[in-house]
């Protein structure tokens, strides 16, 4: 069974999250110090002001994360955004990513938003299965992620 909670309730997971993100996105985090990355995650440890990061557990093991944020400077008109979706490789393909996106959608709704956005290179299938609408492909650094929206 998957349990999803606020990073604010599980700050002890931050070292694991920093490790995951460095491994998953090495180019992006190459110039970040450990202290900078940990500080960035600490800023996500909130209950009611964006950014708000959620973490997922299976049998008390940290297995994934997602964030609701409003600070995507490159696509400022498409906010708030769900992003930073990560599921540990050994647990992929078991619905955890879908549960995290659903939890993020509920969080956005609970925060009073009527629409939420996401950009993705790898999770289009999850978004589409949950009824998200493709808007356009964007160019961001060396990637061309798809931009989606979901009316809550």
Least confident residue range of 2-11, 29-38, 70-79: 70-79
Cα(25)–Cα(103) distance, rounded to whole angstroms? 23
pTM confidence score: 0.92
Does position 74 have pLDDT exceeding 90, yes or no?
Answer: no
Residue 9 has pLDDT above 80, yes or no: yes
Query: By percentage, how much of the chain surpasses pLDDT 90?
Result: 76
Q: How far is CA 4 from CA 9, 20, 22, 65, in A?
A: 11, 18, 22, 9
Residue 72 has a pLDDT of: 63
Q: Which residues of 3-24 are buried (b: 16+ CB within 10 A; e: fewer)?
A: ebebbbebeebbeebbebbeee
Return the pLDDT at 30. 86
Asked if the model's pLDDT at residue 19 lies above 80, the reply is yes
Residue 71 has pLDDT above 70, yes or no: no
Of 64, 17, 13, whose CA–CA distance to 37 is shortest?
17
Average pLDDT over residues 96-117: 97
Residue 29: alpha-carbon gap to chain centroid: 16
The residue with greater pLDDT, 29 or 111, is 111
In whole angstroms, what is the distance from residue 81 CA to residue 101 CA? 11
- The first and second tokens of residue 28, run together, are 């992006």
- 2-151 sits in which CATH class? alpha beta
């Amino acid at each position: 069974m998957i349990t999803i909670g606020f990073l604010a309730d599980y700050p002890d997971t931050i070292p694991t999250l920093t490790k995951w993100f460095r491994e998953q996105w090495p180019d992006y985090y190459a110039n970040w110090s450990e202290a900078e990355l940990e500080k960035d995650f600490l800023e996500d440890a909130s209950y009611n002001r964006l950014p708000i990061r959620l973490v997922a557990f299976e049998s008390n093991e940290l297995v994934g994360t997602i964030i609701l944020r409003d600070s995507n400077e490159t696509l400022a008109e498409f906010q708030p955004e769900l992003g930073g979706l990560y599921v540990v490789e050994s647990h992929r393909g078991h619905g955890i990513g879908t549960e995290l996106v659903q939890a993020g959608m509920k969080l956005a709704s609970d925060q009073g938003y009527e629409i939420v956005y996401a950009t993705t290179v790898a999770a289009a299938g999850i978004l589409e299965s949950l009824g998200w609408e493709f808007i356009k492909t964007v160019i961001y650094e060396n990637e061309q992620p798809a931009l989606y929206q979901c009316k809550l």
